[in-house]
Every structure is written in C-alpha cells, then in structure tokens.
Structure 1
C-alpha cells in the first residue's frame, strides 16, 4: 500500500512539474511573442485587402501573395543576390569590428591621440555614403572591393564611439586600485578597461552589423555589377527600372530579413560573451 501511495505521489509530482513548465512556456510566449505575431497577422491581412479595396494595380502596390509569387518565380536571381550581399556585409562588418576596436584601444591609451584623431572619425561619419561612393568606385573600381569598403565605412563609427565610451567609463575606485598595485597602462587596458567596456563594445557591434548591410546595399546601387554578381542593391535597381514592383518588394523584404537575422546572431554572441558575469545578460538569463 505504501509503495502504491509513493508511486501515485511521484506521478502527481511529475504531472505538476510538467504543468508548471507548460505554464512557464506559455507566459514566455504570451509576454514576448504573442503580441508581435498578432500584429504581423493583422498587418499582412490589411496589406492583402488594401490593394483590392482601393483598386490598385499590382505594379503600384502588390499584395503579399504577389510578392511571394515573385520571390518564387525569380528565386534563381534572388538567392544569389542575397548570398552576395551577405558576403559583402560580413566582410565589411568584420573589418569594422577588428579595425574599429583596435584603433579605439590605441586612441583610449593616449589622450593626445584621442583628441587628435577622434574628431576626424566624427567628420567621416557625417559625410553621406552616397557622396563618398563615387570616389571609392574611382579609386577601387566597381564590384566587391568598393562595396566592402562602403559597408566598412558605414559600420565603422558606431564601434569606435561605443568602444571609446566604454573604455573611458571605468569605475574610478577600480582604476585607483590598479594604480595602487603599480599596474602599467597596458595592464589596466587589458585587465580592467577592456573587460569593463565589453557591454559597450557589444552594443556597438549590434548597431554596426545592421549598418554594414545598409552600407553594402547602398554601395551596390553605385558600384554593383551585373552578370550574376550583383547583390540585393543591384537587384532592386534593376527591378525598379523594369517596374517589377512585386520582385522589388521581395528584394526589400529579403534585405530586412537579412538585417534582422544578422542582428539576432550578434545579439546571441553578445549574450554568450556577457551571460556569466554581466548584470544585463544575467537578468535576461533569469
């Protein structure tokens, strides 16, 4: 009798644990995903109905079905364009991250360097990429090289500004403690300032990763080439000239999905880097 009671109690506990886990997952889904899913469904429904109600032709405002059909029909063109844009964006972002963080560490190590060079980084950011693009094309030629450089230029400044802010935001007490133990300037940099700046660096990477895609697509407008080697920016230009509006929408949506995916990937990397020690990531973990 006692064994039967124990077995029943064990089964009841397992059922309760399963129900608690289901309730927890439902609360997470309800709090984070349910609202965006409902909003997305409503948006697609309104978009599907609106052209019919207003009597708009598909070349003025295509419906979601028209866009999906265009993507399927021209998939042989769309997918290679997406791949090319991914390649250009990733290379541009990687250069922005490596050079941006490296240069910022040098700037933060010397107030003279920071005051001398950082203003020019700000000036570089204020120049529209469309104005710089023709010069880059003249110097480096049309194609991958110019597009990568433009992607790099657009994503470069957010990393510099965020990293420099982080390196200059070290806790004063910790800085004095390192000084008390006779730590050198570079010991402070590697063991105190860079770890303290990691959340700022990750924030800069999140901004830069999306801007690098924008820079690549804008670069493709100016420096893109055909012959199966054009990215999304080039495809958008061709679709606009040919008035293939559904395919134009498909390219734009593909660019948006690419940006969201890139951002989520960098956010995951940031979470993995910070989750074991930084408060913001630990709160998300909970």
Structure 2
C-alpha cells in the first residue's frame, strides 16, 4: 500500500514559480516570435523577388541596396534624421501642452466647449497641404513653419481624447465632490484630470506619430537645403535624382523613429498608469 505525501508550502511555491516562468516564456514566444518570423519572410521576399524578376534598383531596390545607400550617404541621412527628430519633438510638446490646456479650459465651461470645440474639428478637417503654404507665407520657410505644421497635425487627437476623458468622470464621484463643497478648480485637479489620464495618454500616443508625419510633410513644403533639411527634404531630393534606394532609406529611418517615439510615450504611459489603472496593470501581467 502506497502512502501519498502532502506537498509542503515550499514545494507549492516552487511549482507556482515554475508555472509562472512557463507562462512567461509562452507569452514571450507569442509576443515576439510571430512578428520576427513575419519580418524575416517579408525581407526574404523583398530581397529575392526583384532579383528573380530583374527589377532595376531605381524602380524597386532590394533591402541590401537600401542598406548600402544608407551607409554610403550616412553623412547626409544622419543630420536629416536629427533635424526631423528635433522638429517632431518640439511640435509634439507644443501639441501636448496647448492641447491639454485648451481641453481643460473647454471642460471647465460648457458654454466654451459648445462655442469653440466645433472650430477645432473644422481645423482638423482642413487638409494640411492646403494651409501649409499660408503658414510658410506667415512664418517663412524652415524650422518655425515646420514645427507649426507638426503641431497642427498632432493637436486635435490630444484635444479630442482629453476632453472626452474630462467629461467621462464617474457621476457618483462628481456628486461626492459637490457634497464636500469642492470648487471647480479642486474638482478639476483632484478628480477630473486624474480620471482622464488614460484618455490623455491615448491622445499622446496618437499625437506623437502624427507629429513626425507633420514634420516630414512640412519639410516637403517649407524645408530648406544647405545641410539644414530634414527627412522630408531628403526624400524630395532623392526622388528628383531617382536615388530610390536612398529614398527608401529615408522613409525607413522616419518609420523607425516613429516606432521608437511611440514606444517611449507608451513606456511613460505605463509608468504613469501602472499603479492604479486596469489597462496598464493588465499589460504588466
């Protein structure tokens, strides 16, 4: 007759730890293996299809051609990237500060929200290529106009998301603040803004990528040469000169910067929300 042994607490904890490690490995495999495999397949097809079909590099360059062009013209690519990064960050910061400030102002007064918010929507619906020449006339070519264009493109998502968050506060919590005779400013600072943080962070994540698009778009219209042009200007020059591999290198550089920028803002979002909001807490698990 066999006697069954009861596992000790230490053994239970050890088994629990092993299960967590196994689950962590499974999550890692699902999260990273699929995208990595898809990227390898995509790059392989991109590399071999032009060679098989004898497509010229100025029509569709292979990844190796793009890398070679980036290395060859790195002395041009890196300064252009730095300029675009600086313009995008400044435009994004302006969008965040002004957008959140205006949202708080609109949310504090129903009359202001009804009166002014429709014009923010109208501003967003106007194609940026239509108002960009006006901005250039007013502010001149170069940095100022590009930053303003970047700001305008990234502005509305922050206003829209922040205003939605400020107006979505739990009614019972609002009644509680009224019960304690809290002023409008106290309610805004201690209740509405903290409750709107997930919405604000969502708006910032959208705006940071749009700020890059705005900068590159602005550089097409208001960019200047002489070593002071960003990726948009470099793409324009490469297209005119039929330097397609370098054009691809510029576009990929902009995309990589967009990914990094988005990941940085997402990291900040998790750090701000992880201790109390469900969305960030679930992501940490």
Q: What TM-score results when the alignment is normalised by the length of structure 1?
A: 0.93
Deviates more, 1:22-31 or 1:132-141: 22-31
Q: Secondary structure at the match of 1:227?
A: coil
Q: Deviations over 1:175-216 (max 9, x none)?
A: 111111111111110111001100000000000000000000
Structure 1 portions without partners, runs of 5+? 1-11
Over residues 118-148 of structure 1, what are the superposed CA-to-partner deviations in whole Å (9 max), with x where a residue is unaligned? 1110010001111111000000000000000
Task: Report what 2:8 is aligned to.
Answer: none
**C-alpha distance after superposition, 1:89-122 (max 9, x if no partner):** 0000000000000011000000110011111100
Measured on the aligned residues, the alpha-carbon RMSD in Å equals 1.8
Confirm whether residue 80 of structure 1 aligns to residue 79 of structure 2.
Answer: yes
Written as runs of structure 1 = structure 2, the 5 A alignment for 1:23-34 is 23-34=22-33
Structure 2 equivalent of residue 196 of structure 1: 195
Q: Does the residue aligned with 1:273 lie in a helix, a strand or coil?
A: helix
Matched with 1:7 is: none
1:133 aligns with 2:127: no
Deviation at 1:232, TM superposition (A): 0.3
TM-score normalised by L of structure 2? 0.93
Q: Which residue of 2 aligns with 1:182?
A: 181
2:149 is the counterpart of 1:150: yes
Give the number of equivalent residue pairs. Answer: 276
What CA distance in whole angstroms lies between the structure 2 residues aligned with 1:69 and 1:43? 19
Separation (CA, whole Å) in 2 of partners of 1:137 and 1:164: 30
Q: Report how far residue 24 of structure 1 moved.
A: 4.3
**Distance in 1, Cα, partners of 2:80 & 2:133:** 22
* Residue 36 in structure 1 maps to residue 35 in structure 2: yes
Shift of the alpha carbon at 1:55? 1.5
Cα distance in 2 for residues equivalent to 1:186 and 1:230: 45
Deviation at 1:31? Answer: 1.4
Q: Which consecutive residues of structure 2, in runs of 5 or more, have no partner in the other structure?
A: 1-10
TM superposition shift of 1:17: 9.1
Indicate whether 1:117 and 2:90 are aligned: no
3-state SS of the aligned residue for 1:219? Answer: helix
What residue number does 1:163 align with?
162
Matches within 5 A, 1:212-251: 212-251=211-250
C-alpha separation between the residues in 1 aligned to 2:88 and 2:180? Answer: 44
Deviation at 1:26, TM superposition (A): 2.5
